[in-house]
Amino acid sequence: MASHDILQLLVSLPGEFVSGERISQQLNVTRASVWKQIKQLKEEGFDIEAHTKKGYCLRKTPNSLNAWVIEQMVETKSFGHVLSIEDKLKSTNAKARELAREGGIHGQVVIAKSQYAGRGRMQREWQSPLGGLWMSVIIRPNLTLANASKLTLAASVAIVDAIEELYQLRVGIKWPNDLLYNGQKIAGILGEVVGEWNRVQTLILGIGINANFSSEKLGSILTAATLKEILGYEVDLNRLAATILEYLEKQVTALEENLFEDLRSNWMARAVGLGEEVRVLRGEEVFRGVFKGISQDGELLLSTEQGEERFSAGEVRLR
């Protein structure tokens, strides 16, 4: 923790050298301890320039995931203020559930650098190699159950907005929770209610983004792409996490204030297959029709030969 006090000091003086002596006096630690902690920070990926006479200067924070960096970056009321990063987890959603049961707070975040049993919907597998952003947020919203189902829509729009702001990349949303670029999946969302279904007190929002790895790592999944492949460079995962949390908090707050219309139109502006003939799978059933949009209750609207069908769960297949 003390090393973060050093960071705090260096960050507060951007581009300036701070002498070892000043650090040791201000933080009441020995010069040797300052040196040791700077060494540790460098190993964590902080680019700190050391000069024998002038002292230390923080040049750049690391691209790789770092809880302290995200906490400093994030400009939110509560999202991401409590945040932990693990090297490897079964699933961040499973971990967030545990944390929620132990009293985890609204907006608390858990991130894993890799997951060995990441989950998609309906117990499907979610491949989560190193280099991705695998993150779950505990949400204790002030929402009815009906409105809580709109949180996945809110999360989709939040991620799309973040990716557009950071990389000027326009990503499409395939109902209900796939984010696509040129038809390839780059991110998925898994919303799960903790506790009883008839009362939403806590929801875990799992977000998986294929960021800094090559899609070859995904083995047999051929319909995926990663940000690194699309952009041609590695993205700053801390900035990505922080920006998503900012947009997510805004969207969740808007939902709590019953402002669904903006979200609905933003969602539809990004929807893939809107106005087109699609198939919707619900369990064993297959429906064909024209994808008309999202209702005021957040359901998918399909115009079929038999009339209008509404779906709150299922899968869309594009032509």
Q: How far is the CB of 268 from ligand BT5 (least distance, A)?
A: 20
Q: Is 10 exposed, middle or buried (0-12, 13-18, 19+ CB in 10 A)?
A: buried
Task: Report in angstroms how near the CB of residue 124 gets to ligand BT5 at its nearest.
Answer: 4
Which DSSP string do the residues of 160-198 spell out, in sequence order?
HHHHHHHH----EEETTTEEEETTEEEEEEEEEEES-TT
**Alpha-carbon distance 84 to 150, whole Å?**
26
Which CB sits closer to ligand BT5, 15 or 283? 283
Closest residue to ligand BT5, judged by C-beta, is 188
Paired with 139 in beta bridges are 203
Question: Shortest distance, CB of residue 125 to ligand BT5, whole angstroms?
Answer: 6
Determine the residue type at 278: V
Side-chain-side CA neighbours of residue 249 (13 Å)? 17
User: Residue 283: phi, psi to the nearest 5?
Assistant: 60, -125
Buried residues in 143-170 as b, exposed as e (16+ CB within 10 A):
beeebbbbbbbbbbbbbbbbbeebeeee
Residues 6+ apart with CB under 8 A from 152: 176, 177, 189, 191, 205
Q: Of 41 and 316, which CB lies nearer to ligand BT5 in the complex structure?
A: 316
Residue with Cβ nearer ligand BT5 (196 or 216): 216
Q: Which is nearer to ligand BT5, 177 or 266 (CB)?
A: 177
If we measure between CA atoms, which residue out of 112, 113, 109, 115 comes closest to residue 71? 109
Please identify, using beta-carbon distances, which residue of 93 and 212 lies nearer to ligand BT5.
93
Whether residue 223 contacts residue 182, with contact meaning beta carbons closer than 8 Å, is answered with no
> Alpha-carbon distance 96 to 205, whole Å?
9
Least distance from ligand BT5 to the Cβ atom of residue 215, Å: 8
Q: Spell 116-131 as b/e; 16+ CB within 10 A means b.
A: eebbbbeeeebbbbeb
Q: Smallest gap, in angstroms, from Cβ of residue 115 to ligand BT5?
A: 6
Site of interaction with ligand BT5 (CB under 6 A) = 91-93, 115, 118-121, 124-128, 134-136, 177-178, 185, 188-190, 206-208, 210, 218, 221, 224
Nearer to ligand BT5, 61 or 210 (CB): 210
In the complex, the smallest distance separating the C-beta of residue 203 from ligand BT5, rounded to whole angstroms, is: 13
To ligand BT5, the closest distance from the beta carbon of 93 in angstroms equals 4
Task: Please state the closest distance from residue 258 (CB atom) to ligand BT5, in A.
Answer: 27
Nearer to ligand BT5, 61 or 93 (CB): 93
From CA 60, how far away is CA 260, in angstroms rounded? 39
Of 23 and 241, which has the nearer Cβ to ligand BT5? 241
